[in-house]
Structure 1
Amino acid sequence: MISMQSLVEGLPEALKLKGVNSIYLPELAQKTDQELHSFKGGHALFTFPNTPIKCAGAPQKIMYISDDIFRQNGVRDKTKITYCTSLGRVFGVKKYADTLMKIVESKDIELNVRRNLIKVDAITRTATFEILDEDAVPTGETVSFKYDFLHAAPPCSPVKPLRDCHELTDSKGWLDVNPDTLLSKKFDNIFGMGDCLNTSNAKTGAAISSQMRAMSKNLPALL
């Protein structure tokens, strides 16, 4: 899968300017670090998209790291931190969400659920979000926030060769496999692994290790 910052209006251009960052783009890692350490206070806004995403915990990890940097630099009391997520709670897995919610509250972070970033205006420093319903479908309503520092976790999608290969994929471009065997639902000699699958697991290294265990049994059995 690949990051698709172009799916958010104005984001590709904004990422080139001061105040808008993303650790999902390696070339922006140093810029993000420099801006966090030079931040003097204001509104720090962090987002989570309405698509599958590489490492669903990373948007929160950078937020907690930022909180720590602000505290070390003595500007946390001058800073409002907001987390806008497309999910209905702070994290997709409830048992982790319950613990993370305690962390969010202890760090005085404002949580806004069912908010999906759709536009960034780098000139006015305004981020616009569509409001989602319980099924993650846009309601037609939007809400905007002014920011001084924005960390955008961009939407992600399957790579273009997969999106264009309808014989192998589902309607959204993900490799269509049986979630238990990892065998293609359309071809009996094709297996899939990794971020490209339409399985419900997170797109993480931990998920790959689980898939490896299934693959180590199922592939030899087919051969």
Structure 2
Amino acid sequence: MANHYEILIIGGGTAGIMSAAQLLRQKLSKSIAIIEPADTHYYQPAWTLVGAGTYNFDKTAKPMSEMIPKGAKWIKDKATTFDADNNSVHTEKSGVITYDYLVVAPGLAYDFSLVPGLGEAMDKGVVCSNYTDPKHTWDVVKNFKGGTALFTQPATPIKCGGAPQKIMYLAEDYWNKNKVRAKSEVLFATAGTVIFGTKVIAETLMEVVERKDINLRFNHKLVKVDGENQIAWYELTKDIKAGGCIVMSGDDDEKRLDEDFQYNYKRVKVTKKDGLYGIHYDMLHTAPPSVAPKFIRESNLVNDAGWLDVDIHTLQHKKYPNVFGLGDVAALPTAKTGAAVRKQVPVLTDNLSMLIKHKKIGSKSYNGYSSCPLVTDYGKMVLAEFDYEGNFTPDPKLKRMLIKDSSKEHWRLWMFKKYMLPYLYWQRMMKGKNV
């Protein structure tokens, strides 16, 4: 059959390309195809630096034709539906494609309907996002003349959960150097209850927040954006403590602020209406609300939350043993990052290889490793590495770079982020080499 492949991979992002490259290096199959509609492959981790004016956007892009590993067939098309019972994928233009083994790695999709008003405001005027247009973010940052700078994120899973705060630290540093900071209040509003889930990293970031005099607002779920009036509306995800403690403050009641909601309180304009709190902003950076792509959500391959239902350690689908999934689309309780993919791919390829050769999966297990390089100033970075339990798991190789403790800010970590990681990505990960 012309449209049959032993191994079919959906997605030409980090997970799909690295998986194909590793499978080809193992000479596991001569019949591998990748379904991917995009012409360009992006190295998105550098977009934080693009948004801060310290990295060239063009260097984050390469033609997809150069990225597809030699030996894999590129099907330049969109997957539209699955029929896993019949080992087939329907596409927009190429008809039905069948497979023996399927690797599902299409990444995630943005669903602006989850935060009404955000889609209309996004990437226009003072509303920006490194996730969608980092060049516009840089325009907003460098043209900011003071006022309320609001950094926030939706309550959905997003790529790299640390990204919405990284750009805040860099922007604050830029404004400080350009004498705008004194005329500004910097706010970070999040539905979470802490600045970061790994304790030692959170401790360092709270020191950064203190140094930069940033107001944190916890338990703030972004529910809509009024772009015309420049208001971000929030629902509070926790009841305000009994006894009248409040979220906003007047002159005489600052002592009564509920600390579950506020850290380092700043008086900025807030409107209360219909049980929601509207923070007025002069610039807004956020992440788009994220979901699994539509053809995944509408399939029988997902869990109740709409993400690809795979075993969190083996990456094998819970219902279909010849289907595997990884990357941002997978229902894995860890951060959705390229660093996570770096550790997922060797587990997936080993398990798939054993399944093909011996009809049973291997013994490799993914422990939930992910990492988040948190830039805290131009020239400083903290590297958060953690597993499913949220344990801090620093890579021993960092000692070779003379970095004793990656939970603390270091200039060498900045150099690692800006120069080493892109090299490792393009020259090793994307070529199927373990990093």
TM-score, normalised relative to structure 1: 0.91
Instruction: Single out whichever of 176-185 and 97-106 deviates more from structure 2.
Output: 97-106
Instruction: Give the whole-Å Cα distance in 2 for the aligned partners of 1:170 and 1:58.
Output: 26
Match of 1:121 among 226, 229, 233: 226
| 1:3–1:24 contact (8 Å) kept in structure 2 | no
Q: How much has 1:217 moved relative to structure 2?
A: 2.3
Give the structure with higher Rg (CA).
2
Find the counterpart in structure 2 of residue 146 from structure 1.
280
Determine the structure 1 residue equivalent to 2:338.
205
Secondary structure of the structure 1 residue equivalent to 2:349: helix
Alpha-carbon deviations, 1:135-180, whole Å to 9, x = none? xxxxx94211110001121211001110110x21101221101111
Percent identical among aligned pairs is 43
Paired amino acid for 2:285 = H
What does residue 63 of structure 1 align with?
168
Give the conservation status (yes or no) of the 8 Å contact 1:81–1:110.
yes
> What's the Cα RMSD here?
1.6
TM-score, normalized by length of structure 2? 0.48
Aligned residue among 116, 121, 126 for 1:9: 116
The amino acid across from 2:164 in the alignment is P
Q: What's the offset of the Cα at 1:16?
A: 5.0
Cα 1:16–1:211, aligned 2, differ >3 Å: closer, same or farther?
closer
Contact map agreement 1:37 1:73 (CA 8 A) in 2: no
- Distance in 2 separating the partners of 1:95 and 1:157: 30
Which stretches of structure 1, 4 residues or longer, exceed 3 Å deviation after superposition? none
> How far, CA to CA, are the matches of 2:336 and 2:123 in structure 1?
27
Query: In the alignment, is residue 24 of structure 1 matched against residue 131 of structure 2?
Result: yes
Counterpart for residue 322 of structure 2? 189
Q: Which of the residues 129, 139, 147 maps onto 1:42?
A: 147
Which segment drifts farther, 95-104 or 154-163? Answer: 95-104
* Higher RCO (CA-CA < 8 Å; seq separation 6+): 1
What residue number does 2:213 align with? Answer: 108
Distance 1:93 1:5 in 2: 29
CA distance, structure 2, for counterparts of residue 124 and residue 192 of structure 1: 42
For residue 30 of structure 1, report the CA deviation from its aligned partner: 2.1
Match of 1:217 in 2: 350
Equivalent residue for 2:298? 164
Q: Secondary structure at the match of 1:127?
A: strand
Q: Report the equivalent of 1:98.
A: 203
The answer to whether the 8 A contact 1:43-1:146 is kept is yes
**Which structure 2 segments of 5+ residues have no match?**
1-107, 240-273, 357-435
